[in-house]
């Protein structure tokens, strides 16, 4: 439909394949590294122009009983699933406000609406993403920016396979 699309992820071969298929731009990024989000938005803006639409779909999960949960896992899940999404939103909002138009779609999970055993960090991160989305939606709608969250159930992905 004429949109110029950037695809990002940690695995270069996978994002390059998708980018080729849609005639888009592949930009490797690891959102567990805070500077990579800013670099990603800068690279996309440089190559394709300012970001009008943002889909935050990065996510990781871990499953373990609460007594075996560790801080490093908690921090990594929260960083990628919540903080990185917030930082990417914050990076693109100034342009969207300036043009009085923008669309942000955050991909959460049914785990953002209810709890599931053994996935404490994932559930917390997705609840937080739902809350951030609701807050940004109320704040930004007056400026022509629509912010939504999608809460899928289980989708057969690599993350799903690893969790099972």
The residues that are catalytic are 122
Residue 121 near residue 69 (C-beta atoms within 8 A): yes
**Could you count the other beta carbons within 10 Å of the beta carbon of residue 161?**
8
Contact, 72 vs 18, CB < 8 A?
A: no
Q: What are the Cα distances from residue 117, in Å, to 64, 79, 87?
A: 9, 21, 28
What's the CA gap between 160 and 91, in Å, rounded?
A: 29
């Amino acid at each position: 439909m004429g949109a110029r699309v950037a695809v990002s992820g940690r695995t270069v071969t996978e994002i390059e394949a998708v980018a080729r298929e849609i005639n888009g731009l592949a930009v490797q990024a690891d959102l567990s590294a805070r500077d990579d989000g800013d670099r990603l938005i800068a690279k996309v803006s440089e190559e394709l122009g300012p970001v009008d639409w943002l889909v935050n779909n990065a996510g990781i999960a871990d499953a373990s009983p609460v007594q075996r949960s560790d801080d490093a896992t908690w921090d990594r899940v929260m960083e990628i699933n919540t903080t990185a999404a917030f930082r990417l939103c914050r990076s693109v909002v100034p342009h969207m406000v300036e043009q009085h138009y923008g669309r942000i779609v955050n991909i959460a999970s049914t785990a953002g609406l209810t709890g599931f055993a053994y996935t404490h960090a994932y559930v917390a991160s997705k609840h937080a993403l739902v809350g951030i989305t609701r807050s940004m939606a109320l704040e930004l709608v007056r400026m022509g920016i629509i912010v939504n969250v999608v809460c899928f159930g289980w989708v057969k992905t690599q993350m799903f396979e690893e969790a099972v």
